[in-house]
Amino acid sequence: MVEKLSVKRINRLLTMMIENMKYMDDDGRDLPIRWNIMHMYSSSQLAKLVALRRGMDFELAAIAGALHDIAVIIGKKTEQHAEKSEPFLRDTIRTYNEANNYSGMEISKEEEDILVKAIVNHSDKSNYTEDPFVELLKDVDSVDRYLHGIKTDEDYAKRCERVFLELGIPIMDA
């Protein structure tokens, strides 16, 4: 029998995020807020799957997947969003932790630092690192982009192919 996954933190975080995002409009945005919502949810789910396959903390991976475009969500712009994400990310985690104070559901400082490193570095798909969370997030972002029908070539395609092989998914020419 498959063991039940503990997903309380990611579910609370996604609830908090969607509560804030449902009041956002598309004015001044590079991407519609509905895209950010879809990408947030699907990246979070994909991150769980890849993390489970790799033996990583799947809930922390899901949180990384959910928050990796936080600078696009809050800052509205895609240019250098990964590099600009740290203050948005730390503020979002602070808000989440304050809402869950003393519940045992907080994101620790160590986890926050892992998330910051992964998210700040997720856009550089051509650079491979030794950090498992950085690599997971780059891979998940690449695969999610592909699964949403966005043209995927070069470094994104290489990452997709690698993840598909890892998951035992046959690679087909489009």
Q: What is the pTM of this model?
A: 0.95
DSSP label at residue 45: H
Residue with the larger pLDDT of the pair 173 and 75: 75
Q: Model confidence at 104, in pLDDT bands (50, 70, 90)? A: confident
Instruction: Check residue 2 and give its pLDDT.
Output: 66
User: Three-state SS for 133?
Assistant: helix
- Four-CA torsion 72, 78, 82, 83, nearest 10 degrees: -110
Domain 8-166 sits in which CATH superfamily?
Hypothetical protein af1432 (1.10.3210.10)
- How many angstroms separate the CA atoms of 14 and 9, rounded? 9
Domain locations in the chain? 8-166
Span 78-101, pLDDT tens digits? 999 999 999 999 999 999 999 998
Instruction: Check residue 5 and give its pLDDT.
Output: 78
| CA nearest neighbour of 76 among 29, 21, 27, 123 | 29
User: Residue 62: is its pLDDT beyond 60?
Assistant: yes
